[in-house]
Amino acid sequence: MNTSYILRRLFYGLLLMLGVVVLNFLLIRMAPGDPAVVIAGEMGGATEEMLESIREEYGLNKPLLVQLGIYIGDIARFDLGESFFFNQPVTHLIGLRIGPTILLVVTAQLLSIVLGVFLGVIAARKPNGIMSAFVSVFATIGYAVPVFWTGIMLIILFASIVPIFPVEGMQSVRLRDANVFVKALDILHHLVLPAFTLAIIYLAQYARLSRASMLEVLGSDYIRTARAKGASEKSVLFKHALRNAALPILTVAGLQFGNLISGALLVETVFNWPGMGRLAFDSILRRDYPTIMGVLFFASFMVVIANILTDLSYRLADPRLRGR
Amino acid sequence: MTLMTRLMGAAALTVTTMVGAPVYADGGTLVIASTQVPRHLNGAVQSGIATAMPSTQIFASPLRYDENWEPQPYLAESWEVSEDGMSVTLNLVQNATFHDGQPVTSEDVAFSIMTTKENHPFKSMFAPVEAIETPDAHTAVIKLSQPHPALLLALSPALAPVLPKHVYGDGQDPKSHPANSAPVGSGPFLLEEFTAGEAVVLKKNPNFFLEGRPVLDEVIFRIIKDESALMIAMENGEADAYPFMTQSSSIKRMEKADHLGVTTDGYAAVGPINWLAFNTASEKLSDVRVRQAIAYAVDRDFITKALHRGVSSSQRGPIIETSPFFDETIPSYDADLDKATALMAEAGYADGMDLTIDYIPGPAEQQKNIAEYMKSQLKKIGINVEVRAAPDFPTWAGRVGGHDFELSMDIVFNWGDPVIGVHRTYLSSNINKGVIWSNTQQYANAKVDELLNAAAVEGDLEKRKALYAEFQQIVAGDLPVYWINALPYHTAFDQKLQNVPTGIWGFMHPYDQISWSE
């Protein structure tokens, strides 16, 4: 893999980010509603002078293109501005929430890949068996069901019928003074339902994908050769077949990252998870422009990075692509 | 018990043991759940429940109020109103300090009232305050341009937090001062942690100026925006109190929980009124007979008893019915479809008319459902109503503030004294396009202006009541607003809690006397 390739990818990534920033800015400004009225409304009403001073303070009375120019300039200096609503730096607000979101998204991603691939491999072993049928049905249902519905069903199940998992929040406030170990366990305990909810839709996809991919690979000559030379079934499945079937899974995993982040928005809202998704959702309702744009910028940044990493790892995994 | 249930039970027990039993601080922790998000914690520049609840714990104020609308000493151990009502002298306690150790002086009180006057959205609270003299460190003399009987109530914790001048007097705009998110006050609790949009954690102020208070060690405000998640938190003990609850299903659900009590006490000063506003400047609604016809067509009883399942109470006028200024004798517009139809015909609309209704995005039970009910009810008198749902607050505020509406449902608070929360809706001088919760109805009546201006300066309580009675009779006739119901604010709380605040300000009042019974 040569350096110029990486540089080129980074440059495209940068261009993409710029496009995202401009598009976000313009789309958000097109939404009806004046942020000054919202801020004044949140304060409990205001006089006209107060509205004017709010517009002045947040630069809302400048022409749109000037505001865009200022915003891009600020972003180039890694300054995402100050929240209209909280009067706190957006980077601080995101900083508080990035951890919970990453924890949720990464857990869900790992859970869906590991379980999904495992189910897919099992199903591919006997394409006409019960397990295969089960995986297909499960995958179809899992893929079809909206994530918020799954969340609400799980809440109903675990809130009243089998109350073994917490259904909202990330930590118990009663454990504020507890030690690190207890706190970590508490977070894991809270993570179970949101992570599973977010994972389920992707888990189904991975199961289907790896089943199809494995079926294709299992029909190849080299698998027959491996079997002929006496390799064990486990070794054939996981060493010879899965490695080759993994490439499409890897690609999808990278592309899926963006979907996971948008899925996190719903899951965080349903489970009161203190992450970026909920911040974005609330900020849209409040017309808190800097915060919405900050969250979108950050989320796109993560997606772009994830895509670049996928691209690179793809090349690492497939020796045939390395020279290109 | 089936094997499955046993297994589940065992699993639950294991998880609970792993996670540990609740850890209480010595004096106890009070966890208050709320669906409302505070922007920051400084009530001097921000109105509303979300900020006022934590702000009244962090900041002390000159006075506080009991459940009988009587002022009580707080930072001011005594006070005198001059004969002519033109000045109020506050004698401050000697031993009060801010959380950073600096003493609370008359300078701080003077600075705070002037800052609030300039920056708080409720301009009428301190508008007549001309200057505040500070003859010594513990005496503040408030000089007024006219008598201002609402002043004492405006010195309550929810409206007049005493800010440290040495922090806020640095020339930065108090509305966006960084200290608003990390405030230093002299109240019973001090800020430990503020996670915007998530939680506010307060610890006991060990140097609080009132001996032996506060009792609690810790107060935590948890923001849970989803009502059903909040219900679960209350039921399983993750939260101890839920004030400002309005949904009938939630109220009924909380009443069923064995360990919880539910009360309607503590909201007298808030005076939250749910109403239907008329744009009196629109051609169709400029005719008072049309407005009255609409009022006669709507059945308040149906709304409070059926739509609200009996948890709310009817509200007949502009001043909340629990206020001493409410006039019992005003016309109530009991449902009468014949009268309504006759009024429509009289106004020249026998063939009916088309109208739009907006509603503030909020609890469907108080807003959307009533708007839908009105649509079906007004059809009976020939009015074809289009319900215009707003996806969010900014959209609604833009329409109503911009006077681009015909009918609009809204919730507006009285805030204790009519001068603070009532005048703004009816004074013709407060017609301000673009400004929400001003006189967006564009109602103008010279007699009403005269009465309100007179009541604002009338020091004699009985005379003041008489002025407000006359005002209520006139607006009930003119009907710029059709008042529907008082918002059914309820508080759910753990029954082991003692001294749950039930005064006129409820949970917007210091929690220094709350304790756990065990």
Q: pLDDT tens, position by position, for chain B (518 residues)? A: 344 444 444 444 444 444 444 444 468 999 999 999 999 999 999 888 999 999 999 999 999 999 999 999 999 999 999 999 999 999 999 999 999 999 999 999 999 999 999 988 888 899 999 999 999 999 999 999 999 999 999 999 999 999 999 999 999 999 889 999 999 999 999 999 999 999 999 999 999 999 999 999 999 999 998 898 899 999 989 999 999 999 999 999 999 999 999 999 999 999 999 999 999 999 999 999 999 999 999 999 999 999 999 999 999 999 999 899 999 999 999 999 999 999 999 999 999 999 999 999 888 999 999 999 999 999 999 999 999 998 888 788 888 988 999 999 999 999 999 999 999 999 999 998 888 889 999 999 999 999 999 999 999 999 999 999 999 999 999 999 999 999 999 999 999 999 999 999 999 999 999 999 96
Q: Does A324 have pLDDT greater than 90?
A: no
Q: Are residues B454 and B495 in the same domain?
A: no
Q: Does A47 have pLDDT greater than 50?
A: yes
Q: Are residues B220 and B345 in the same domain?
A: no
Task: Quote the pLDDT of residue B20.
Answer: 43
CATH number at residue B185: 3.40.190.10
Cis peptide before B214 (omega within 30 of 0): yes
CB spacing of A35 vs B11 below 8 angstroms: no
Q: Are residues B468 and B499 in the same domain?
A: no
Query: What's the token pair of residue B504?
Result: 């006129």
Chain A touched by B4 (CB under 8 Å): no
- Which of A50, A88, A173 is opposite residue B31, by nearest beta carbon? A173
| pLDDT tens sequence across A56-96 | 878 888 888 888 888 888 888 888 989 988 989 999 999 99
Residue numbers in A near B226 (CB within 8 A): 168, 269-270, 272
Per DSSP, helices labelled H in chain A are 3-30, 35-43, 48-57, 64-76, 90-125, 130-144, 147-156, 180-218, 221-228, 233-234, 242-271, 276-286, 289-317
Task: Quote the pLDDT of residue B11.
Answer: 46
Q: Which residue of B has its CA nearest to A86?
A: B39
- Which of B20, B232, B398 is opposite residue A168, by nearest beta carbon? B232
Residues 6 or more apart whose CB falls under 8 angstroms from that of A153 comprise none
Q: Are residues B198 and B61 in the same domain?
A: yes
Q: Are residues B281 and B240 in the same domain?
A: no
| pLDDT tens sequence across B241-268 | 999 999 999 999 999 999 999 999 999 9
Q: Are residues B245 and B299 in the same domain?
A: no
Q: How many CB atoms lie within 10 A of CB B442?
A: 18
CB spacing of B398 vs A32 below 8 angstroms: yes
> Could you tell me the residue range of the domain that residue B314 belongs to?
272-486
Q: Average pLDDT of A277-304? A: 87
Answer yes or no: are the C-beta atoms of B440 and B277 closer than 8 Å.
yes
Answer yes or no: are the C-beta atoms of A86 and A97 closer than 8 Å.
no
Output B4 or A34, whichever has higher pLDDT.
A34
Chain B touched by A93 (CB under 8 Å): yes
Q: Does A201 have pLDDT greater than 90?
A: no
Instruction: Please give the tally of structural domains in chain B.
Output: 2
Task: Quote the pLDDT of residue B10.
Answer: 45
| ipTM for this prediction | 0.81
Tell me which range, A108-117, A131-140, B133-142, is most confidently predicted by mean pLDDT: B133-142
> How far apart are the CA of B40 and the nearest CA of chain A, in angstroms?
6
In one letter, which amino acid is A100? P
Residues 98-157 of A with CB under 8 A from B: 155
Mutate to test the interface with A, among B19, B219, B400, B404 (most CBs of A within 10 A): B19
Provide the CB-side half-sphere exposure for A153 (13 A, CA): 9
Residue numbers in A near B22 (CB within 8 A): 172, 174-175
Task: Quote the pLDDT of residue A322.
Answer: 61
In one letter, which amino acid is A296? L
Question: Cα dist. B416→A40, B153, B267, B269 in Å?
Answer: 21, 7, 10, 4
Sign of CA dihedral B418, B420, B425, B429: positive
Q: What is the three-class DSSP state of A317?
A: helix
- Which of A50, A159, A164 is opposite residue B12, by nearest beta carbon? A164
Q: Average pLDDT of A164-176? A: 88
> How far apart are the CA of A148 and the nearest CA of chain B, in angstroms?
13
CA distance A259 to A112: 13
Task: Quote the pLDDT of residue B17.
Answer: 42
> How far apart are the CA of A191 and the nearest CA of chain B, in angstroms?
13
Q: Which residue of B has its CA nearest to A185?
A: B19
Answer yes or no: are the C-beta atoms of B56 and B38 closer than 8 Å.
no
Q: Are residues B247 and B330 in the same domain?
A: no
Strands B139-144 and B481-486: unpaired
Chain A touched by B397 (CB under 8 Å): yes
In one letter, which amino acid is B365? E
Question: Cα dist. B39→A50, A89, A95, B66 in Å?
Answer: 17, 13, 18, 28
Q: Are residues B429 and B501 in the same domain?
A: no
Q: Are residues B286 and B244 in the same domain?
A: no
- Which of A96, A159, A186 is opposite residue B195, by nearest beta carbon? A96
- For the question of whether the overall pTM of this predicted structure is more than 0.90, the answer is no
CATH number at residue B414: 3.10.105.10
CB spacing of B39 vs A42 below 8 angstroms: yes
- Which of A37, A274, A282 is opposite residue B398, by nearest beta carbon? A37
Q: Are residues B434 and B481 in the same domain?
A: yes
The total number of residues written for chain B in this structure:
518
Q: Are residues B200 and B328 in the same domain?
A: no
In one letter, which amino acid is B102? Q
| Orientation angle between helical segments A289-317 and A3-30, nearest 10 degrees | 150
Chain B touched by A288 (CB under 8 Å): no
- Helices and strands (H and E) in chain B: how many: 16, 21
Task: Quote the pLDDT of residue B23.
Answer: 42
Task: Quote the pLDDT of residue A45.
Answer: 63
Residues 6 or more apart whose CB falls under 8 angstroms from that of B151 comprise B88, B126, B128, B129, B142, B144
Task: Quote the pLDDT of residue A321.
Answer: 67
Task: Quote the pLDDT of residue A184.
Answer: 94
Cα angle for residues A287, A288, A289 (degrees, 5° grid): 95
Q: Are residues B219 and B94 in the same domain?
A: yes
CB spacing of A282 vs B225 below 8 angstroms: yes
Task: Quote the pLDDT of residue A173.
Answer: 86
- Which of A48, A155, A284 is opposite residue B432, by nearest beta carbon? A48
Q: Average pLDDT of A287-314? A: 85
